[in-house]
Structure 1
């Protein structure tokens, strides 16, 4: 048995654990969407409060990711992973038994906290196991498939569970999966040695509250308009706290987010481009899921199944990017092509009207998914490239932060565009009361703005990014070695 075969056998189970975990985390942000009407009816949730089923998870996840990433670096990634998985699984169980809106919102927030602990540790562990460049690229490819297609899979799963069982099972489904992953992690996952040193509690609080205020500001703006005083105050608080956070991180000995991670041109550009890519991409799921139900009159089950082309196409394109395109053409060109295809797909979808058929929409859906799968592989690799092992957790956390904040901020912006366009259409269509035309007008405008966000990411990659040479892609730090043998249970 050669060394390469031995390495693959040693990493396949940890890889499976990490991929299932990432699927749970990404899927959970989307799976509730199709179940929202049933949740509202069962728990008597006020329409204005219904968005908190999604936003409670988003705020907690996005706000605490950096804290979870640094905790894994300092206290051991496997231990932090286990703690987060226990919290995530328990919160899912409690959420499934919720009998009041507040209980469901609290459970969703607790899920977000657990996900913030699990996600960065999972990616950092995966990267520590892949010392060979090709092996690492292949692992990133699989991770990309899960990350990029998780939302679509969540919509499919949500439709199936809501139609055939109950909305409560969009929460309960995490319990058996989480329990299996927790047991497997004790056997399969390696651990890094814990580090002695101070923990930047003040910086962690500043970053958490600051990012939460930023996300909340966009949520308020989406719901009540950009002139809403609550949104303005939230943005001001976010700006103040994040500016203070940067000042603190420049001075403390053990920062929760080492600012030198942003000094690398390739890595920092990848973070921003990923945020824009996810921000634009969220519109496709949000608007299409409603289009199928409101305009085409489909059931939740049929709506979920309509998204099957997304994960299938993303899988194929990401594997081609991993095994062929990146090595042959270089990461920056592959990123650019992927973003261009995604933007074209959204532009095609923005041409839909009240009489469009699924057959007409499938072209734009496939082109969009093809671009996403192609772009996410090199973007993920660039986001963790050249990072010393001692910073692997926080760099992985930043990859997830940009994805989560991109989804939250992007959806808030696109929903605001949708609402503004819809109001205009409502005036012109008042005589015929054509609700379908009103929805399509707003959705088309939102998808057009989404395509513009992807175009901005494309320009950023082409103009700003300068990928490092292959020999510079991994920074070795002999003082920080990963222990590959699992701890005793």
Structure 2
């Protein structure tokens, strides 16, 4: 799930705040529409996976591309989308992204086969990468007063968290009642409302003449695409197949060229100087591992309920509701406890709880009672729900308000890469262990390991950074 802004976000220096006479609620609705669509599309597709497979005769690797293709393009173009928003104007780029996402959603709903659906999902990723950073920028600038901005960012976070929490259940309801194509048609009214409200009530921001690191972004995309191809197609083609050897070579060459370019570039793809700060590096490592576990596990879990336990999409969505609703509930808990505990301590504790709960289900099978699975996943998600706002706050604390927008873009990009790799790795495991009485347990164990590794990063990097800051005050 993309990371919304935090209370520490402030309008960038030199950029005038946007003032509009429109109702704050209408502006918030306009700028939340994109986030809602992007968040729902990550979660509802998981529940629709088995129905898509049966209707389009898709293989497991094709289903993985349907999920990961969107995340691949979204994550790889996110930083470029932020640069375009600065250069061309956030409102213009936001509307472009919404229009592209709208058309691509219609293409997904009308897709005649798996290949067409994959292509439409790739185009959806382009749209999301355009409107996501623009949405954050417009929201921050639309509410120049700190108190109002804090309140609106809190509401925005709640909207996004609720969308993520209800996504699987909404998906199950739609797939069960109207078929899998309806989950993409849902984007159409949301997209139209978002575009019309933005045109009418959101004021354009000033344009900043920034240079775009196009060669670096091309190398970044090539490296991620090669990694994705290797992970997704490896189980089907064989890890030593000719196409896989080509992807390894592309990954090595593009990755090496990117590192060489970034070392000497005046305008790098990433703000590498910020990674020298332990808290910033720790938040990004936590973000990658957290999304690996959360969304990789969600992809696997929806398949487990339908393939192993024999649930239909509606029942699977309803069974996931008590577990996924824990995420927005925990977001609210964070708002109450964050003033009493440091972010490093909260992240460490909650990630350890989520990791232990996930790893405890390593023996799960089709015969495991539902309440046992619901309890394990629910406890893990309670911990995960506190992690998301906690890591964002730790990131902004480390980067400083003046770097908040670029820091948020970097964290979002790393989190999307974590989702990409997590879904692909779960697909590899399920292909290697096709027995549905053993495969999900291995996946749950991997999720637990990812969460525990993230807890170690939080303790070693974020907590250490906070102690160092406290000692210098």
TM-score, structure 2 as length reference: 0.85
Do residues 295 (structure 1) and 308 (structure 2) align?
A: yes
Distance, in Å, in 2 between the alignment partners of 1:460 and 1:288 is 26
The within-5 A match list for 1:95-114 is 95-114=108-127
Counterpart secondary structure, 2:217: helix
Distance, in Å, in 1 between the alignment partners of 2:282 and 2:150 is 19
Q: Which of 407, 410, 416 is the aligned partner of 1:398?
A: 410
Instruction: Summarize the Cα distance change of 1:410–1:15 in structure 2 as closer, same or farther, 3 Å threshold.
Output: same
Instruction: Give 1:60 shift.
Output: 1.6
Do residues 360 (structure 1) and 372 (structure 2) align?
A: yes
Counterpart secondary structure, 1:74: helix
Q: Which of 71, 76, 79 is the aligned partner of 1:63?
A: 76
Q: Which of 122, 128, 134 is the aligned partner of 1:121?
A: 134
Equivalent residue, structure 1, for 2:339: 327
Instruction: Give 1:469 shift.
Output: 8.8
Q: Which of 374, 379, 389 is the aligned partner of 1:377?
A: 389
Instruction: Summarize the Cα distance change of 1:72–1:235 in structure 2 as closer, same or farther, 3 Å threshold.
Output: farther
Do residues 453 (structure 1) and 466 (structure 2) align?
A: no
Equivalent residue, structure 1, for 2:355: 343
The 10-residue stretch of structure 1 (341-350 or 299-308) with the greater mean CA deviation from structure 2: 341-350
Instruction: Give 1:228 shift.
Output: 4.8
Instruction: Summarize the Cα distance change of 1:194–1:24 in structure 2 as closer, same or farther, 3 Å threshold.
Output: same
The 10-residue stretch of structure 1 (230-239 or 303-312) with the greater mean CA deviation from structure 2: 230-239
Equivalent residue, structure 2, for 1:442: 439
Q: Any idea what the Cα deviations from partners look like across 1:454-480, whole Å, max 9, x if unmatched?
A: 1111011101224459999xxxxxxxx
* Contact kept? 2:83, 2:210, Cα under 8 Å: no
* Contact kept? 1:62, 1:212, Cα under 8 Å: no
Do residues 94 (structure 1) and 107 (structure 2) align?
A: yes
Instruction: Give 1:50 shift.
Output: 3.7
Instruction: Give 1:47 shift.
Output: 5.9
* Contact kept? 1:144, 1:376, Cα under 8 Å: no
* Contact kept? 2:70, 2:123, Cα under 8 Å: yes
Equivalent residue, structure 2, for 1:480: none
Equivalent residue, structure 2, for 1:425: none
Do residues 25 (structure 1) and 25 (structure 2) align?
A: no
Counterpart secondary structure, 2:209: coil
Distance, in Å, in 1 between the alignment partners of 2:466 and 2:25 is 29
Distance, in Å, in 1 between the alignment partners of 2:147 and 2:217 is 35
Equivalent residue, structure 1, for 2:423: 411
How many residues of Structure 1 are paired with residues of Structure 2 in the alignment? 450
Counterpart secondary structure, 1:464: helix
Instruction: Give 1:303 shift.
Output: 0.4
Structure 2: any 5+ residue segments left out of the alignment? Answer: 1-18
Instruction: Give 1:12 shift.
Output: 4.4
Distance, in Å, in 2 between the alignment partners of 1:341 and 1:135 is 34
Do residues 420 (structure 1) and 432 (structure 2) align?
A: yes
Instruction: Give 1:174 shift.
Output: 0.5
Equivalent residue, structure 2, for 1:81: 94
Instruction: Summarize the Cα distance change of 1:441–1:471 in structure 2 as closer, same or farther, 3 Å threshold.
Output: closer
Q: Any idea what the Cα deviations from partners look like across 1:299-343, whole Å, max 9, x if unmatched?
A: 110101111123421122111112x21111111111112211211
Instruction: Give 1:72 shift.
Output: 1.5
Do residues 174 (structure 1) and 171 (structure 2) align?
A: no
Structural RMSD (CA)? 3.1
Instruction: Summarize the Cα distance change of 1:218–1:43 in structure 2 as closer, same or farther, 3 Å threshold.
Output: closer
Do residues 264 (structure 1) and 261 (structure 2) align?
A: no
Distance, in Å, in 2 between the alignment partners of 1:66 and 1:105 is 22
Instruction: Give 1:256 shift.
Output: 3.8
Do residues 184 (structure 1) and 197 (structure 2) align?
A: yes
Q: Any idea what the Cα deviations from partners look like across 1:184-203, whole Å, max 9, x if unmatched?
A: 22344454321224332212
Instruction: Give 1:420 shift.
Output: 3.2
Instruction: Give 1:183 shift.
Output: 1.7
Distance, in Å, in 1 between the alignment partners of 2:276 and 2:443 is 34
The within-5 A match list for 1:124-143 is 124-128=137-141
Instruction: Give 1:151 shift.
Output: 4.9
Distance, in Å, in 2 between the alignment partners of 1:104 and 1:66 is 25
Instruction: Give 1:145 shift.
Output: 5.0
Instruction: Give 1:131 shift.
Output: 6.4
Structure 1: any 5+ residue segments left out of the alignment? Answer: 1-5, 423-437, 473-489
Instruction: Give 1:226 shift.
Output: 4.7
* Contact kept? 1:282, 1:407, Cα under 8 Å: yes
